Amino acid sequence: MYYVIVNPASKSGQGRDIWNHLRQIFAEREIPYKVLFTKGAGHVAKAVAKLTAFEDDGIVQPPIKLIILGGDGTMNEALQGIRNFDRVLLGYIPTGSSNDLARDLQLSKDPAVILQTILEGKCMRSMDLGLLTYADTSGERSRLKAKTVSDKRFFAVSSGIGFDAAVCEEANSSRFKKMLNKLKLGKLTYLAIALRQLIAAKSVSCDIYLDSEKEPIHIKRFLFTAFMIHKYEGGGFQFCPMADATDGKLDLCVVGSIPKPVLLAALPTAYFGKHYMFSAIRHYEASKVTFHASIPLWVHTDGEVYIKSDCITVSCLPQKIRLMM
């Protein structure tokens, strides 16, 4: 039995049509399945939590086979609901606007090819899982998310604090995003918002503690920090081209004291992973990071923004995800 979660609004509203084509593959191969269509923020996490609420009755049970048809955000919400990662096999059919996870996994662009590969069951891959913990959850809430916020969030691709999260927060509520996505110009949304956020960015300092180091990395003026499991973020930007999703470590891209005009020149180079030529952009590795900012800033996990925070801890859980691909 396969359980399929479909975001019908993904790929500019084509998610349901893509599923209607894929379900014929299940029928042709006489493979049983159950499908669930997403119904807004929080729905997927609750459904997955119910599905994976295993009772420890001493009997060895087969793993739940769960396929996500949607974007990185749909996958992110599904992760929040999983109660025991050791008893879940995940499949991913990307139909989002960024698809950074699929890009790093080098998945086919044909959903039918991906599904056929999943159902054949010949390849299994283990991947690291990111865990973000807020020091407190009393900060300013995102305009689109639930009023209550958990103090922990998982992520598959990346997390970030500062400029990149602020761009995600504004883009997710942009009335122009859906229209531009339909025209396959969705990246223009992020570009326009990024420029506006960059101009309005305040001077913020931070302290970054890597693993068990007692002395922090202090940055007097910083723009953002990305905590990466995979190479890509934001629709193909290689913020950490050296990232390895199986090494048990986070790769950090820390953008420090850099003049805004220089940053405008640096951002395009990040699409090719060449941005470390700028001395104010630095790379670090760690299994666990504690981050303190001088003021609360937006925080994202896989592009999903819930709350502002001035203190977070980000950890890497080694090879916690088991992916059918």
Measure the CA–CA gap between 14 and 183, rounded to whole angstroms: 13
Q: What is the pLDDT of residue 58?
A: 60
DSSP 134: E
Neighbours of 86 (CB within 10 A): 9
Q: Span 26-36, mean pLDDT?
A: 95
Specify the long-range contacts of residues 108-112, CB closer than 8 Å, at least 24 apart: 111/18, 111/21, 111/22, 111/69, 112/21, 112/22, 112/25
Query: Domains of the chain (ranges plus CATH)?
Result: 2-122 (3.40.50.10330), 130-319 (2.60.200.40)
Measure the CA–CA gap between 9 and 148, rounded to whole angstroms: 24
CA dihedral 129, 133, 137, 143 (to 10 degrees): -30
pLDDT in tens, 124-179: 999 999 999 999 888 888 876 666 789 999 999 999 999 889 888 887 766 555 55
pLDDT in tens, 69-126: 999 999 999 999 998 999 999 999 999 878 999 999 999 999 999 999 999 988 899 9
Find all residues with CB under 8 Å of 117, minimum gap 6, and list them: 108, 123, 325
Select from 158, 139, 138 the least CA-distant residue to 239. 158
